[in-house]
Chain A
Amino acid sequence: MKKIILKADNLSKSFSSGGALQHVLRNIDLELYEGDFTVIMGASGAGKSTLLYALSGMDTPTLGTIRFGDRVISDLNQDELAVFRRAHCGFVFQQIYLIDGMSVMDNILAAGLLVSKDKKALLRRADNLFEAVGIPGETQKKFPTQISGGEAQRAGIVRGLINNPEILFADEPTGALNSKTGLEVLDTLTRFNEQGQGVVMVTHDMRSARRGNRILYLKDGVILDECNLGKYVHGDKERHEKLSDFLAEMGW
């Protein structure tokens, strides 16, 4: 029996646009489990990213409750959510969002020093993570605009993982990358997941979705269905077909 780390009940999110209310998420009930690689799929405008941001405490829901462990996070104010995010969540963005004015290493340490007071331990962890994603020391000293997109996104993953979060939230992490570097990033995420890191990833790319063990399909703000693929094995054709069938069933 997997441990539930995040639970959403009756989660709804609406936006007001030009006087009209737009319901992006509708009464979603969802549980996320420890160590899972959960993939949220759906067509553009289905509410994938909105769901990801609501679950991660980046945004507050209009209605419903989100629990992280025993704690209700949907009632927290912005500063309390910030403290929650820094301690429990990691983020990888489609646009990468490294801070241009800081070196790659500083981008990671700025997030890390917010939580850890042990700078030496933090530097060791950063070194290990950089090594794991294949970013050499020389690159760590460069500024984000001086490195490739793939390197930047891998640095983004290191930043997301620096505080040892329970869940790494990834919003279309390969969306801005070419296929080769996108693959490298996916391999990195898979590797960390294999080591026990929980990942929640939003994507509309089937190749990326294949990496997850649990696929949620979102349509018009509602989770239509989910598909369990099991542990990822490279080149597993059966897994590929199962996902294809699921997506076809969902009208993908």
Chain B
Amino acid sequence: MKSCLTFWRKWGGNMRKSFLLVRANIRKAKGQTAAIVVLIFLAALMLNLWLMLSTDYKQNFKRYHDRLNAEHVILAADEDNGKMRGFLEQTVENDERTEEFSIDPAMHMVGLFEYNGGEMNSELIILEKEKALSRPVGKIEIVEDSKNKSGIYMPLLYKSDEIAVGKTIDIFVGSNKMSYTVCGFFNSIMAGSHNCTLCEIILTEDKYEELKGTGYAPEASFLSVRIKDKSESEEYEAMLKNAVSSRYPSIRTASNSYGIVSQSRYISQMICAGIMSAMAFFILLIAVVVIASNIMNYIQENMKNLGALKAVGYTGGQLILSFHLQFLSISLIAAATGAGASYLLFPFVNTMMISQTGIPYRVRFLIIPFILTLIILSGAVFLAVWLSSRRIKRIEPVVALRQGVRTHNFKRNLIPLEKTEAPLHLALALKTAFSGIRHNVTVCITMLVLSLVLVFSGLMMENVIVNITPFLNLIIGEMADSCIDVNEEAEERFYREMSADERVERIYLYSSAEVRHVGGIALVATMCDDFSKVNNKKSVFEGRFPKYDNEIAVAAKYAGEKGLEIGDEITITAEGKQGKYIISGFTQISNNLGKDCLFTRAGYERLGELKNASYYINLADGNDISVFNSEIKERFGDDVNATIDIRATIDGGSSVYVSLMTIIVIAVLVLSMVVITFVLYLLVRTMLGNKKRDYGILKALGFTTGQLILQTALSFMPAVVLSAVVGVSACGFLINPLTAVFLRNIGIVKCTFNVPVGFNILAGLGLIVFTFLIACLLSLRIRKIAPRMLLAGE
């Protein structure tokens, strides 16, 4: 008992002593403390946002899915009669993986409507309102309603200035236009976005019956299935699709699965979270380096004081503890504030994300990300403090008191003034630069990180904001001007006439179907009659496109998971047939999340017949795509199932990516400027503190304030210029592989973005000039150093 009391008394004494030191240190270095607080604050803000986005935000999909008792697989088959329903019912009942299901009447068509300044073209599943609300599996949830009793309910994703309650929306099916008053918005987990392949729209009973009467949209059986193990959703979907196509080869179907939808609706969230995590860890790295540098500098500059403290009885452990207390307390306060502040930013991020996912998310306090943020940040700070303050234990009081301040490296005079050809101020700046290794290391790490951020921003500007084509090439795979879906019977005539049409620059088959890798999973197959005609030659980034009917190009992500190599032979099955194919190359199209493959037409037809062929058309300059599409629809009538203005569709879908990326780029650039300003603030302030005496001497000798400011700013330049040049050049080479790491989840293995060399050079120069100007600005404090201080011995 006595020894226990002694222990706690001793511990209390130690803590009290350490607290005294902490208070003294913080009071003495208010500016430095404030700068470190800002860095930790920013790191915590980004870290907490990232953790919230990557944990709970993703869980939101699951929560909604469970709450609405949503399906794991949906399928629309373009026939609604007892026979079809009976077949579907029997098929799912016979499969032991089925938990529950619902089959309801619907209409299924490819339709388009205006959205975000472009067109949204999607497979639409049209349901009657009451039916949609009462389905036992896969029911919808109305999230905004109005008093209008007749009209349309749209998925929440499309809520915008143009598509709002009370406004009229025009939906086109071929050349038929249907106008509806928007009554409200709903949430559908599995079919609430064009990213889901199938997009539900809900009509009030009168409008539903009216559309049904026109015969514009084929009636369909809409099947929603919940299965016991959702990880098997893609397999189940493939089974279902194969069953229908085997039994009803001429029936058009569309389907999706939990596995695909849960990822495809969150592509933006994954990209955003990836960028936030990178920024958070970059800022944390800088903060940790700054703290370590600060402590080492403090030890160097306060050797005498530390020696004196040891002489009066403080132990090395107490002094180190005081550093831990000092930095951990300010880090925890800053981290908690930063994590708290992220809740102010999160509603804004949430709005952006909802416009991408279409699934509402209620912002609320999340304890786990908050605690994780505090643990990660305080852990990093603890490590930095521990590593940088260990040498205190080795300081002997007598030696410390005798040696006092020793800040310079006396081994070599690297820039002797009698020999150098450099101008005086540059030479003196270089002397300062070469004497401060810690400053240089801090500057280099900061500049390298910021170079990476700049190069990444340039990459996103060039490939998303200025010209989104390279980004879309990765996401979508292939783009042309027009896509026309024709019936099998009219295909030959269509191709012949299009080939002869002088408005058509190029026409090629580009159709999709579903196949299955034997021993693997279901894959989205794209077939083309001649891959040399495709616009995006980069979609096969390794090897080559299939040329012969026994060749296949497979998704690199899937190939990696299965250990498949170019030249390997794999077995593919579809429509009850099997075929062996040699892998000719690797593809990457994130729309299919790394689960796709390419065939030649002849290659696919070894397995099954192509029912409705989609042709991609590039028009000659000066031709209006919508006029061309209308004319084709008119000429071929019912033989053309759908015409799609791909450019307009892309404009509609891509504007959200452009605005998202613009916001991200602006945010990271502003953040970078804030970070470099605070890092420089710390370094300049430390330098001015250390060199106050030197500046006083130089002023006494006749150096002006301007000359000393110039010298100070120039002294940072060797490290700044070197690291900016190395950073921008290296990042220019590494940025594509690094970006691919972030995009691997969505099936991108090798990024092929254009690296904007000109922008990178300008950005590097801009970074150097900005750093120089900020260093000059921060050095203005030199004005306050007067030579009179020498008299006072300050």
Contact = CB atoms under 8 A, between A and B. Distances in A.
Contacts of B431: 101-102, 106
B701 A58 contact: no
A157 to B, nearest CB: 14
B699 A105 contact: no
Nearest to B417: A109
B693 interface: yes
B416 A159 contact: no
A114 interface: yes
B417 A58 contact: no
A36 B484 CA distance: 104
Nearest to A90: B701
B707 to A, nearest CB: 8
A79 B787 CA distance: 12
B703 A103 contact: no
A53 B408 contact: no
Interface in B767-791: 783, 786-788, 790-791
A101 B424 CA distance: 15
B410 A79 contact: no
B502 interface: no
Contact of B697 (A50, A97, A141): A97
Contacts of B693: 97
B418 A101 contact: no
B703 A82 contact: yes
Interface in A25-80: 49-50, 53, 58-59, 78-79
Contacts of A232: none
Contacts of A86: 701-703
A23 to B, nearest CB: 17
Contact of B428 (A85, A98, A110, A115): A110
Nearest to A91: B700
B424 A113 contact: yes
B407 A101 contact: yes
Given A97-B693, A114-B424, A82 B413 contact: no
A159 B701 contact: yes
Contacts of A106: 413, 416-418, 431
A110 B424 contact: yes
Nearest to A100: B408
B438 to A, nearest CB: 15
Contacts of B706: 79
B297 to A, nearest CB: 15
B535 interface: no
Given A109-B418, A110-B424, A110-B428, A99 B698 contact: yes
Contacts of B697: 97-99
A105 B418 contact: yes
A115 B702 contact: yes
Contacts of B428: 110
A143 interface: yes
A83 B700 CA distance: 10
Interface residues of B, number: 33
B703 A114 contact: yes
Q: Which of B435, B700, B703, B783 has the most CB of A within 10 A?
A: B700
Given A113-B417, A114-B702, A171 B791 contact: yes
B704 interface: yes
Majority secondary structure, B binding face: helix
A99 B428 CA distance: 11
A49 B791 CA distance: 7
B701 A114 contact: yes
A192 interface: no
B417 A110 contact: yes
Contacts of B417: 102, 105-106, 109-110, 113
B531 to A, nearest CB: 67
Nearest to A79: B704
Contacts of A83: 702, 704
B161 to A, nearest CB: 58
Given A85-B700, A85-B701, A105-B416, A95 B408 contact: no
A102 B418 CA distance: 12
A133 to B, nearest CB: 18
Contacts of B410: 143, 145-146
A141 B788 contact: no
B694 A59 contact: no
Contacts of B269: none
A210 to B, nearest CB: 25
A59 B788 contact: yes
B432 interface: yes
Contacts of B587: none
A236 to B, nearest CB: 33
B378 interface: no
A82 B699 contact: yes
A111 interface: yes
Contacts of B783: 78
A227 interface: no
B457 interface: no
B446 interface: no
Q: Among A101, A109, A111, which residue has the most Cβ atoms of chain B within 10 A?
A: A101
A93 interface: yes
Interface string B418-439: 1000001000100110010000
B791 A91 contact: no
A135 interface: no
A103 B787 CA distance: 21
A100 B406 CA distance: 9
A110 B701 contact: yes
Nearest to A109: B417
A27 B528 CA distance: 101
A110 B426 CA distance: 11
A86 B705 CA distance: 13
B793 interface: yes
A95 to B, nearest CB: 7
B414 to A, nearest CB: 11
A87 interface: yes
Given A97-B693, A100-B408, A58 B705 contact: no
A59 B698 contact: no
A229 interface: no
A84 B787 CA distance: 14
Contacts of B696: 97
Contacts of A109: 417-418
A123 interface: yes
A184 to B, nearest CB: 22
Nearest to A117: B424
Contacts of B435: 101
A98 B417 CA distance: 15
Contacts of A53: 787-788, 791
A171 B787 CA distance: 13
A110 B702 contact: no
Contacts of A171: 791
Contact of B418 (A84, A85, A123): A123
Interface-centre pick from B431, B694, B706, B787 (highest chain A CB count, 10 A): B787
Interface in A125-178: 141, 143, 145-146, 159, 171
Contacts of B790: 58, 93, 95, 97
B243 to A, nearest CB: 82
A95 B789 CA distance: 12
Interface in B699-720: 699-706
A93 B693 CA distance: 13
Contacts of B406: 145
A25 to B, nearest CB: 13
A171 B790 CA distance: 11
A85 B705 CA distance: 14
Given A53-B788, A101-B431, 6 more contacts: A53-B791, A98-B697, A106-B416, A106-B417, A106-B418, A114-B703
6 contacts: A85-B701, A85-B702, A102-B431, A106-B416, A114-B701, A143-B410
Interface of A: 49-50, 53, 58-59, 78-79, 82-87, 91, 93, 95, 97-103, 105-106, 109-111, 113-115, 119, 123, 141, 143, 145-146, 159, 171
Nearest first, the 9 A-B pairs at minimum CB distance are A86-B702, A109-B417, A101-B408, A79-B704, A113-B424, A111-B701, A59-B788, A85-B702, A82-B704
